[in-house]
Amino acid sequence: MEKRRNGEWGWDPRFSGSPLLPLLPSRSLALLFFKLRMWKLLLISPIILTVYIGAFSSQLDGKSELPNSLKELKESIDKVLQNKILEKVSVGIQVVFQDSGEVVYQSGATQLLNPASNTKLITSAVALSQLKPEYTFKTAIYTDKLANGVAQNIYIKGFGDPDLSSENLWIMVKDLLNEGVQTVEGDIIADDSFFDNQVIVKGWEDFTSPASVGVSALSVNENTIKLFIKPGPKPGLPPLVSADPPLSYLRMTNRALTLAGRGGISTIYNQDNGDGEVIVSGGISRKSKALYSEIQVGDPALYTIAVFKEILGNLGIKVQGTLKKGTLPSKARLLVLHQSQPLSVLLNNSNKISDNFAAEQILKTLGAELKGAPGSTEKGIEVIREFLKEEVGIPPDSYVLENGSGLSRENRVSPEQIVKLLRYMYNNFEVRSEYLASLAVAGVDGTMKRRLRDTFAERRLRVKTGALKGVSCLSGYAFTRDNEVLTFSMMINGYTTGGYPIKQIQNQIGLLLTEFQRATYAKKEGI
């Protein structure tokens, strides 16, 4: 075979038996291949780069897909709200991105509606911001004279504790024993002057249930007596009735009967100057399980010292005087001081389980602490109005507040105002964690324990519910698939269908919010 000479074309014997490729010198050949590859890269690189950058930017900020995904969410909410049961019903809703404030959805967002217990979102927000999460409620025991184990008078002064219990009083009496008190030769005197004497909160006149129990600076067991009613051994005999706490002064008038068939029990409680009578009437089926009932006390302060006196006797401290109300002398000696759990913990009662009593106690405490004792509903609302105006930017004349719990036919706020407050609280680092922790968690606890369980929304909604006859509200925060926070408020007033179907509508919208994802392609591709 002819070989290559002086750089000319030739044939390489390694390819004998088949057509042979022309060869170049090794350096020239390498250079040629390099140039060919570079031209190929230059031709296809712009295409690859364009596709990559487009995909990356879409994943980064979702802008190319944002209009479509938001449009889908709005259409889905519109579809839910087209339910026939919402015809001729007042519906207000606003949903915004927490970070930017951009409105995701709104309809009737500025109309004033009854918020029911969503009012507690306002009361608790102001309390956390003004009193601070570590604030505690005090209950103190004093005497005007103590010598040789004998106290002249015992005073118990309350400062609005919404969580004081018989167990707490028991511990306080044990501390009295440690202080050397063996006998009280005078009276047990209740001082409830930290609040005004308005026991029934304004707006509660239309409601008669333990949900509207009276408030007082000196309260115990949320000012209720628990009754347990068990059928008698056979029809015609009275049922067995017991009370908690088991007070010796409590007179039980049992006019009820055990029945062979169905029956109904009613209870009435009358209190006069520390003495109390419970009247039980009606009938209870022989096959019925034990019934549980709560009755409201007439005078919370007198009820508290009646429970206190009972515990004194049980622990061996003799009381020679009577029970009455009065004011602590200026030179009284402090014997025992009880402090409640922090406000941040007590707000669980107000917000998670929607305790009206706790909310109103907190409202009057706000008034007493910031406007001076005695605390009142009016002073508490004055504090709220100042806070909403100065801190949140909500004018005082743009809403109506009658009380702090929402148990009112007159309260009126808008979904937009609730959202504005919620955004403020989320951005307030000092109290954000405590505020969020006080809210009910979907599918987990409080008033949301049985709602949205085993759905994507479980644990991804932190909210406050609200309900009265014809009123249902749901407001709070939703955590989306993109890990963004949506702040929202839904208020529905004037329905006649019952609360369950309305809650289902709220649940559907809550679920849509948690499932929201900015980029529609991410849903399809499973990214």
Spot the catalytic one: 120, 352, 364, 420.
120
Spot the catalytic one: 58, 76, 117, 438.
117
Q: Is 138 a catalytic residue?
A: no
The DSSP secondary structure of 411-465, one letter per residue, reads -BB-HHHHHHHHHHHHH-TTTHHHHHHTSEETTTSGGGTTSSTTSTTTTTEEEEE
**What one-letter code names the amino acid at 58?**
S
- In words, the CATH class of domain 137-340 is alpha beta
Cα(500)–Cα(512) distance, rounded to whole angstroms? 19
Residues of the chain with CATH 3.40.710.10: 67-133+343-519
Spot the catalytic one: 212, 354, 414, 489.
354
Are the C-beta atoms of 357 and 215 separated by less than 8 Å? yes
Q: Is 234 a catalytic residue?
A: no
CATH classification code of 67-133+343-519:
3.40.710.10
pLDDT digits (tens, 9 = 90+) for 196-230: 999 989 888 766 665 668 899 999 999 998 989 99
pLDDT of residue 270: 65
Cα(406)–Cα(121) distance, rounded to whole angstroms? 10
| Phi-psi domain of 327 (left: phi exceeds 0; alpha: psi -120 through 50; beta: other) | beta
pLDDT of residue 11: 41
Residues of the chain with CATH 3.50.80.20: 137-340
pLDDT of residue 247: 80
Q: Is 354 a catalytic residue?
A: yes
Q: Which residues of the chain have pLDDT under 50?
A: 1-25, 47-66, 273-274, 521, 523-527
pLDDT of residue 208: 60
